[in-house]
Amino acid sequence: MGRPKGNPKKEHYYVAAKKHGYRARSAYKLRQMATRYDLLKGVRIVIELCCSPGGWTQVLKEMEPGLEVIAADLSPMQPIEGVKFVQGDITDEEIISEIETLARGAADLVISDCSPKVSGQWNLDVTRQLFLAEATLDLGHRLLGPKGKVLAKVFQGPGFEEFMARSKSKFGSVKMIKPEASRKTSAEMYILAIGPRKSGTN
Ligand SMILES: C[S@@+](CC[C@H](N)C(=O)[O-])C[C@H]1O[C@@H](n2cnc3c(N)ncnc32)[C@H](O)[C@@H]1O
């Protein structure tokens, strides 16, 4: 992934996150997308995959303190009040089933900011990342109601076009977003998918 030139510790969003007490500069990405696309409007239950260290989770609770948040990651996360956390692999069926149980089988929004451990081989890293993004879309497709939304990070690389085609077959509306806080040099984008197509609808 592209790194900014110069000292990253002086980078605008890095400095702002430190000052604000956000656990990650990526908090600004979610804040910008949630504001621009009114993501939290009418939302009661959010499932957040790949949440650690918790910058996005902080933003969710800051913007809508009443939200019910079920968050999961391979790595531990320092607790955040009102957030139920599951530690584990989001591609593991048992972990997904635990998340679904905590959400009582329903959600209004599913979000993820997954990055696999970087292997150094770009094609492999993209394949693994898109697999995590697809797991997010599949969970959303299963749990969301007709107006439900999924927001997921995606790396643009080999397999991306096929991933997009599958996403469009599963959701009524699919768009790509690049928030200002996402580095221009980074291949990361976010997919916003709305309205799961259940068989025979949309
Ligand atoms: C960029 S970080 C997320 C940052 C987070 N949005 C924040 O604001 O704090 C990516 C996360 O993906 C998680 N991750 C990668 N593969 C995973 C998997 N298979 N299951 C669960 N979490 C995974 C990593 O542990 C890491 O915490």
Mutating to test ligand 1, I would choose from 23, 73, 138 the residue with most ligand atoms within 8 A of its C-beta, which is 73
Residue pair 77/51 in contact by the 8 Å Cβ criterion: yes
Residue pair 39/15 in contact by the 8 Å Cβ criterion: no
Residue pair 107/99 in contact by the 8 Å Cβ criterion: no
pLDDT at 201 over 90: no
Q: What percent of the chain has pLDDT over 70?
A: 95
- Indicate the Cα dihedral angle 99, 105, 106, 107, nearest 10°: 0
What architecture is the 8-196 domain classified under in CATH? Answer: 3-Layer(aba) Sandwich (3.40)
Q: What percent of the chain has pLDDT over 90?
A: 91
Residues 77 and 61: their CA atoms lie apart, in Å, by 15
Q: Whose CA is nearest to atom 5 of ligand 1?
A: 51
Give which of 47, 172, 192, 37 is closest to 107, Cα–Cα.
47
Q: Is 153 a catalytic residue?
A: yes
Q: For position 1, what pLDDT does the model report?
A: 38
Residues 179 and 28: their CA atoms lie apart, in Å, by 9
Q: How confident is the model at residue 199 (pLDDT cuts 50, 70, 90)?
A: confident
Burial of 28 (C-beta count, 10 Å sphere; 0-12/13-18/19+)? buried
For 33-67, how does the pLDDT look when each residue is reduced to its tens digit (9 = 90+)?
A: 999 999 999 999 999 999 999 999 999 999 999 99
Identified catalytic residue from 19, 84, 147, 153: 153
Q: For position 133, what pLDDT does the model report?
A: 98
For 71-110, how does the pLDDT look when each residue is reduced to its tens digit (9 = 90+)?
A: 999 999 999 999 999 999 999 999 999 999 999 999 999 9
SS3 146: strand
